[in-house]
Structure 1
Amino acid sequence: MSAPTVRVLYIDDEENNLNSFKASFRRQYEIYTAISAFEGLKILQSVSIQVIIADQKMPGLTGVEFFKSITETFPDPIRILLTGYTDVESLADAINHGDIYRYITKPWNDLELHNSIKNAYDAYKAKIDLRNKVSELEKTNDELNRFIYSISHELRAPLVSVIGVLNLVKMEDLYHSSGEYWSMIENCSNKLDYYIQKTLQYYKNNKTVSENTDIDFNTLTYDLLEVYSLADRETVFKIKIDQQHRFSGDAFRIEVILGNLISNAIKYQKEEETHKKVSIDIQVTQLEAEIIINDNGIGILNEHLERIFTQFFKSSTLSGSGLGLFIVKEALNKINGKITVSSDEINGTTFKINIPNAQSN
């Protein structure tokens, strides 16, 4: 198998250097030469170049300046700088900004320059291969996510039917007619429903484009409480909402954030607690919404506070999928929000969320 053709562009304002370079390397590489940065740019626009060599001291644009000027438009070619004098400051600046791969002093040594071009081409191939692999992985990941979403969505239909049958059993007062079997079915169904909902939330949060609409926190909060408080009628909610300013934000993600935090505040109450309580304090300004959710539940161990937003993290004290708080953090990242948490086993847990008001932009 023949070696791949390496396309090299050499830019120098001295024609003798261009001719010498071409004579030395024309058998090993596909050589293009340009007598100015402008001519080099024209070649780049018409030929897929893999390695660019430029002299530093040229009229108009120096080699470093030329490399910087094409960073965005031609990011792939690997850059080699030729310099006949020592300009440490320019070289350091170019290297720090990633504009050159290597520099070689003039007059060059043919073997050194040949090895540099070979290494530069290897770096070019590695860059392109990595990009292709990333693209393939992104495509595979997207297909996997869509498959999981589709399966989860399809699973919900029969699951809803099972939960419907359980509700009929309760209505006909047959729930305790078969020992604990109906209770076991209900617990398993609720767990499966929880996992499916979290999977769907995760997928939608990753795929849904942020769309800002007006949000009434009073309506949103009480709607969520109506849904989640069904899980525990003993919990007392203390709600304080001060919204005197119009708030614009991503309704889907804000609902996901509040829903998960309210659900957790209810779920992780102490079983022996006789006064279960959750407080929700929302202050809306022209700049942001500040949301504080506090409970007197079991709390979170101090050593776990840094990890609770990690995907699938579970502690010995917290049951669940390990997805809820991860989804909360991911949703906040999508809307430039922030979250902090403080917790102990005596006083419970407090989450503080700050969400920018898109209305102020």
Structure 2
Amino acid sequence: MYIPSKSKRFFIKKGILLIVIGIPRALMFYRFSPIWINFFSSLGVKVIVSGEEGKRILKEDSYTIPAEESCFPFKLAIIHAQTLVDKTDMIFLPRLIAIEKKGIMCPKFRGVPDIVRVITKHKTPIISETYDIGKGKKEEEKFYLKIGMRLGFSSRLVKDAYLFAKEEFKKFEKGFINRLNAYSTSELFNYPYKIQMKDKKNYEFKVGVIGHPYNLYDIDISKGVLDIIKGMGIKVIPGDKLDINNFDKKFKALHKEIYWSTGWEIVRGALYFLEESDMDGVIFITSFKCGVDAIVMEFIKHQFKKLKGKIPLLVLSFDEHTSRDGVITRLEAFYELITTKKKNSLNYN
């Protein structure tokens, strides 16, 4: 079995050895956690997710923080992983190469498992199987089969767990935008997931938000910006949850130039909001020192300028020093802008 021989943290449940696996609440946890947690849980594995404590522990001396040139989300991922060392038998940190057929992830995603191994001095084994959908559509299933079989489970059991997790992921994604506007952001990714309630509120405005999933939904990074926006009476439409695959064909040439997976996702969302929707505004949530964001930001600004203010664009950049009060001030100014624009539009019509 793919378990440390010296571990004393296994649990016995009805005569079955129960493994404890930790998952850092960081980075692509905010995209794939529904499938990850359901996959392990359906195999009988106990899953522990790190807490929402990154900003606080950044100030402690007990955790090693990566080099200062790293972006804030990357620092948080390393810290979250360290908090799991003494609580779990293994830590799940997949080596993400490509999450779709075209495009690749930021290189730092490949290095996270190795950095955690070094920082934690190999105290806890890391499950760092490579995830590369770019190699073919069967790669995702192979990814989970490798992990499950190395944990000692049969291929049949692992495949059943994978198929179950896929179905649960589909349920999670369905109606996500409504749930996002009905619940606080921090509640959305807590297992067991809230998948029933629908948003029934009436909003005066509707704003599209674009950014990497962790920038949008990790309240440690964004200071709960989505909840602040909703509190202003604005409905939030996240660009990463739009079903606009056919829209890609219109900008096929651009996709070749923007080869980062989540970078293209951000651009696609921005273009859709700009050309195909009735948004009152768009907010781009970025991380300071993110190279991908720096590239796509200039492209997005250029596209918005070409249409001469058709839709207001607000760029919010976050790092560990960003204050919530400062974010609120900028959002209040943005709210006044879209309010004035809407009034002027109504008067003109």
TM-score (structure 1 length as normaliser):
0.26
* Structure index of larger Rg: 1
Q: Which has the higher contact order (CA 8 A, sep 6+)?
A: 2
